[in-house]
Structure 1
Amino acid sequence: PICVLINTIFASYLETGSVAALELANRLNIIIVGIFVFAITNYIFPSLSRYSGGKNDTAFAGVMKSSLASMVIIIAPIAAGIMLLSEEIVVILYARGQFDGKSVVQTATALFFYSIGMLAYGTNEVLSKCFYASKDGKTPMIATIFGIISVIVLAFVFTNILHLGIGGLALAASISAIAVAVVLIYKMNKNTYNLINKNTFIFVLKITAAVVITVIAAVIAKRLTIQFNEWITTIVSAAVALPVYVISLYLFKIRRYFGGIKSNG
């Protein structure tokens, strides 16, 4: 909320409509991340609390890692899809009444850059729950303060020096979220939970490959339907992307991560 307020203040000095566009894009970003990530974190918190405090470090680490993996598996293609179809999504959701072409471009630009930080937002939510379950509220607080300072500095640089406009503000928020995620991951890894290891890199490479393949399929579908309206383009692109992504997960043998939360809960 503080970072949103900071961005709103900076947006008030930009062109007309920037505040509203930033708010709409951020709201959509929060809803998308919230639906999946908050469901995961609320589900795992009782298990994390039960295993925390040295009671069962192996089980605690297992729940945490499987939760992060499941979050990445779900959010990564969604973020990529939003980046690809940001304008179409904004037109479908908001383009009516006085919401003109300029408003569409402003909101779509903000949404595009917000989507860059979606995985970081998800990571922060999951790891914050893990720290709180371990009775460590200090680390998330320090990371949050670091994020607030980061977004202030970046927002100033992007809008006043680089003149990136509303996209710069959304990008500042995303980079800030990524910075917070790095701090939380570093601290959790330092706590001997071994978050970063060979398997982590293999998992990231597999997910990246699956998302790239999915995006290529979605781009082809978008180009083939670009002459139609935004509804058809979005629906067809999603209809093509979903099975391609699921098949990619199967071929790369990533499907086993879906059962991680349940098996450790």
Structure 2
Amino acid sequence: MRLLKSTAIIGSLTLLSRILGLVRDVLIARFLGAGLVSDAFFTAFKLPNVFRRMFAEGAFNAAFVPLYARRIEEEGEAAADEFAKEAMAALFVLVAGIVILFELTMPWSLSIIGYGLDRAVDTQTGISPYYLAVVYAQITMPYLIFMSMTALFSGVLNTRNHFALAAAVPIVLNIFMISALFAAGLAEWSQKLIGYFLALAITLSGIVQMGLVIWGCRKAGVKVGFKRPRLTPGVKRLVVLGVPGLLSAGITQINLLVSHSIATMQKGAASWLTYADRLYQLPLGMIGIAMGVALLPALSRRLRAGDQTGAKTTLNRAIEIAAFLTLPAAFALAVIPQFLISGLFERGAFTAQTTAQVALALRMFAYGLPAFVLLKILTPAFFAREDTKTPMIFAAVSAFINVTLGVYLFFSIGFYGLALATSVAAWVNVICLGWLLLRDKRFVPDARLHSRVPRIALASGVMAATLAAIVPVMTKYLTGHFGKDFLVLGIACGAGFVIYAAAAALLRAFNMSDIRDALKRS
């Protein structure tokens, strides 16, 4: 089983991308802070991102990867590549139509997620942030086309066990945005102009990412090319599997849009939630998304070969690895959120008051981090069996809870109630998926998983208690100076890592021999 090795490759490259993303966000916080212009930019960027997750990374890949893997297994690589061409043509027509529709109706369609922006005017620019959001969104919307194509070719590469390039291409987005922000600092641009250049950098990065994965496919021997869109039997099957997945992803993403729209009713709240979201996305991207990307083709191959026992073992090890990496991150984000936010972002336009607000949201997201990661692991167990309907049903239940609870909490305890509702809904979704897998015996926790997860949780608790004791002292050394603050954060995180590793070793929560064995298995 190469699951750990594949996850390590994807996770390390994703970690690099997320670190660069963190640098990007630090610079955005420095220049835009959390106000009406930042709310406008984040709202504009959310629109193509949401549809990217729906059409490219979500529904499409969930349906495409198992079918592509089956074609390779049953008919050979040439037939699989022909199917990929057919799928690419269908996806391009669909996504291009959506982009054109949104470009023509942007002043009206953006009101869905930017409701609160239309009620305020930025005193610095004299322009409605809603107007800025519309223009920014029109610049970034073509990004959806390029990223949809990138997701398709990445799925091809992943199915053929070429994980590195597909995991590395998101780095391009961060490089483009960081370059734009450095230029902004040198030229002393206004916040409004920074937003324009960031939007342009996003779209240009999409073109480069698409070019890189196409080049990677050709290097891997995959014959890529554009075909006339046709409703072939393969495309029909893709649609049958993809529609439930699209609805499932759509429910989740529209749910996020509703939460964002509610947040725009309070000045700065959309930005506070976005900064918190970006920070918890660091471990989620490195662990959950990386694990999910590696797990889907691995499970698909096991099931195609009729190896049900191997598929169950793969799922057990995926959950174990995820717990070992996720639980300490969740504990740390919940215990020291203000220290982390202050050290990362508190300088320039990002004030101490903003730090306090973002920390509230981050703690709420931390409660749901294990659930967010588990969703990335449990969902492929259904997708690999070409079952996209079940996750859709549970996603609908989760979305209903998220929206109703989020609205109630927003008006009762404040904006961070939206983050808490997201975490609660994620746990409900995990419980539903896990219960069904257990009921149908598609997932049977083995003795090793039963033994190690409690030990991992205990080791994480020891680390969190230690951090809670030492962080108040270390907070005094945060000065707002970029280099010094990152050094203090590095020392704190390093101490947490050492404490967790020592506690995990003493409790036998994990053994190095497990890693060596996993890397040696074929």
Give the TM-score, by structure 1 length: 0.89
Q: Find the counterpart in structure 2 of residue 207 from structure 1.
A: 456
Pairs aligned (count): 262
- Structure 1 residues 22 and 152: alpha-carbon distance in aligned structure 2, compared to 1, 3 A threshold: same
Q: Find the counterpart in structure 1 of residue 256 from structure 2.
A: 4
By how many angstroms is 1:199 displaced? 5.2
Deviates further, 254-263 or 217-226 = 254-263
Q: Find the counterpart in structure 2 of residue 117 from structure 1.
A: 368
By how many angstroms is 1:197 displaced? 6.6
Matches within 5 A, 1:131-170: 131-160=382-411, 163-170=412-419
Of structures 1 and 2, the one with the larger relative CO (CA 8 A, separation 6+) is: 1
By how many angstroms is 1:205 displaced? 1.8
Q: Where do 5+ consecutive residues of structure 1 fail to align?
A: none
Q: Find the counterpart in structure 2 of residue 174 from structure 1.
A: 423
Question: In structure 1, what is the Cα distance between the partners aligned to 2:294 and 2:383?
Answer: 14
By how many angstroms is 1:61 displaced? 0.5
By how many angstroms is 1:92 displaced? 2.9
- Structure 1 residues 70 and 105: alpha-carbon distance in aligned structure 2, compared to 1, 3 A threshold: same
Select which of 259, 275, 281 maps to 1:24.
275
Select which of 62, 71, 78 maps to 2:322.
71
The SS at the match of 2:336 is helix
CA contact (8 A) 1:8 1:19 kept: yes
By how many angstroms is 1:94 displaced? 2.4
State percent identity of aligned pairs.
Answer: 19
By how many angstroms is 1:200 displaced? 4.5
Cα deviation, 1:114-157, whole Å, max 9, x if unaligned, reads: 11111000000111112111111111111111111110111122
Question: In structure 2, what is the Cα distance between the partners aligned to 1:118 and 1:207?
Answer: 15
Cα deviation, 1:180-220, whole Å, max 9, x if unaligned, reads: 11111111111213445765443332122111111122223
- Structure 1 residues 112 and 203: alpha-carbon distance in aligned structure 2, compared to 1, 3 A threshold: same
Structure ID, larger Rg: 2
Matched, 1:220 2:469: yes
Deviates further, 210-219 or 86-95 = 86-95
Q: Where do 5+ consecutive residues of structure 2 fail to align?
A: 1-252, 479-484
- Structure 1 residues 261 and 195: alpha-carbon distance in aligned structure 2, compared to 1, 3 A threshold: farther
By how many angstroms is 1:108 displaced? 1.2
Matched AA of 2:508:
K
Select which of 495, 499, 505 maps to 1:250.
505
Q: Find the counterpart in structure 1 of residue 286 from structure 2.
A: 35
By how many angstroms is 1:95 displaced? 2.1
Question: In structure 1, what is the Cα distance between the partners aligned to 2:330 and 2:517?
Answer: 22
Cα deviation, 1:75-119, whole Å, max 9, x if unaligned, reads: 110111112221122223322322222211111111111111110
CA contact (8 A) 1:67 1:261 kept: no
Matched AA of 1:94:
F
Matched AA of 1:132:
F
Select which of 84, 97, 100 maps to 2:351.
100
By how many angstroms is 1:54 displaced? 7.7
Question: In structure 2, what is the Cα distance between the partners aligned to 1:121 and 1:111?
Answer: 14
By how many angstroms is 1:259 displaced? 6.0
